[in-house]
Amino acid sequence: MNFFEQQDKSRRLSGYLYLLFAAAVVCIIISVFCLASIAFSYENSLASSAWTFELAIISTVITIIVVFLASAVRIGWLSQGGKVIAESMGGKKINQNTKDPMSRQILNVVEEMAIASGTPVPPVYLMEEEGINAFAAGYSPRDAVIGVTRGCATKLNRDQLQGVMAHEFSHILNGDMRINIRLTGIIFGIVFLASIGRILFNMGFYSGAGRRRNDKNNSGGIIIILGLGLLLIGWIGGFFGSIIRASISRQREFLADASAVQFTRNPDGIAGALKRIGGYKEGSKINSAGAQEFSHMFFCSGISSLFSTHPPLPIRIKRIEPNWNNKYPQTDKISNNFSTAPNLNNISGFTNSVQNDSSNFNHKKGNISEPSSSSASSFLKTEGQITEEKLAEVRSLISSIPESLMREVKDPFGSRCIIFALLLDQKNMEARERQMKLILQLAEEGTNLQTEKIQKEIVTLSSEQKLVLIEETRPAITELSENQFSRFQSIILKLIHADESIDLFEWCLHKVIEFDFGKKHYPRQLHGRSSVIKCLEECAVILGALAHYGQEGADPKPAYEAGFRSLDRNCVIPIPKIQNCGLSSIDQALKKLNRMTASAKRSLIDACAKTIDFDGKTTETEIQILRGIASSLSSPLGPNL
């Protein structure tokens, strides 16, 4: 499944939503104008204004301001990130250092899915709800969160929980979260008229003015009529909004179910979860006050509604498991034991692979510049596919990293020390001494000693272990305040410059930390609307840099052209000179390239892979450079497993 195409489809679907919204607003304007004219007809002093062009203009302006302002405010609030949605429904963030077996299992499953899919590891919120349910919320993968109910954690086994998480991660990768937020905001703007109507009705009713039928001033009656009318318009608008929401949401749920099966290649996981919901007294019910507004974000319908946002359980199960016998398990009697790591012995290639002794780990050791086990193109083909084998590989890698380092990554202080240790120069001792002095001068007390201690352990790790370790530091680093993160970034830049030269790998690590880890401090647009054709000169800079620095002295032109022709066969811009492909030029190019569509960005990433693979000697460094470029384009890639 091409998730870049799905993201572009989601963008087009958003455009369709706005057209429906505009049509709804036009209908509301006409209704408000008719309502105002009818109400004014009951008041002698205002009767002359009824059914006039002036009243139509006033009704139009006021309605547009109210509906659009309410929608914009709501979307703006929701766009702060999934955190606000999770907290509004009573979710409590699970601490990374938790020792609770249930919470630990949830975090481990989410962490594995995130690393395998190449998305940032999202914070996880636990909801004290007995129903079996979960949701993904946020405006982009950079600010997404996962919400899980206690019922989901206690009534599903690990495979079923993994199936549910795969479903939610597909919503993240498909761009469904942004659609969900816009749906919520649009419907809120329409229904907001009903809230105004309720206020007006109460004002007119409780003032008693509506009962003064013999008074010449019948303003109270007008207020009641306007209030009742706006209530009716808001309810009808909400009714049709619910139909639109249900029709869109149901199709996205089918897509997410199919994606979950494709990810895990284990249909029993998600099918088993759906069956347990069907056989459970509490089902997927959510009692939170926000369940109605956010019902379309859940794994299963959290409320009973005429226009359910989710397909019926039997239909979803039949699509996954056509031979299902229509029987549900007795979920109320089920109680699961929590496992932080599943048995991998039944998975091909992973017998006895989980161990804590990194010295016995069977992955290749050495510098990150060693030859890659796969080409860049084959890496891209498997990237984003969360197969059971890849999940097992992630678990194996995590379990092979020394426990002392895994304890450090759970803490913001230890995580920063790990990143600093990875940037220490291993060849130039003078440069390394300068780096250690910088850490001593600029970082917190004790950072230099802890960094040096960690560096001695990190040097023995394989390249894959180091990369997974970087991913593991993400949740702790995202907890830094804006000032702390800014200081952290400043130290990283000084460490990179300490050896008086910046290589592409250091630049890429910096970009991953800046754009992925610093998501809450550096908000930006996820994707734009520009095509590749409009950005060919900027694409040439990126491909030129890869060709100049990755061909080991060979002529860079053939490698450059191999990548560029995949973007445009009709026109090849000459390869830029090496001095025009420096890091500052790359930064400038990426600013414009970030405005491309998701599919256009994917085309550029594919072209980069062709340039990298041209000499037939793809290295781990080149794979990580590709990941750095992708991160800078808001299209993060997972580790090379």
Please list the active-site residues.
Answer: 168
Q: In what order do the strands lie in the sheet with 124-127?
A: 92-93, 124-127, 145-149, 134-137
Specify the amino acid at residue 316.
R
The answer to whether residues 398 and 406 touch, using CB atoms and an 8 Å cutoff, is yes
The answer to whether residues 181 and 207 touch, using CB atoms and an 8 Å cutoff, is no
- Nearest in space to 598 (alpha carbons), one of 528, 516, 540: 528
Provide the 3-class DSSP secondary structure of residue 145: strand
The answer to whether residues 238 and 187 touch, using CB atoms and an 8 Å cutoff, is yes
- Nearest in space to 133 (alpha carbons), one of 151, 146, 110: 151
Sign of CA dihedral 215, 219, 224, 226: positive
Burial letters 186-216, b for 16+ CB under 10 A, else e: bbbbbbbbbebbeebbebbbeeebbeeeeee
Specify the amino acid at residue 95.
N
Q: Give the number of other CB atoms < 10 A from CB of residue 331.
A: 19
Contacts of 15 (CB under 8 A, 6+ apart): none
Q: Give the number of other CB atoms < 10 A from CB of residue 101.
A: 12
Provide the 3-class DSSP secondary structure of residue 131: coil
- Nearest in space to 589 (alpha carbons), one of 519, 507, 520, 470: 507
Name the helix (H) or strand (E) containing 124: strand 124-127
The residues that bridge with 93 in the sheet, in sequence order, are: 125
* Structure token digits, residue 368: 């990150």
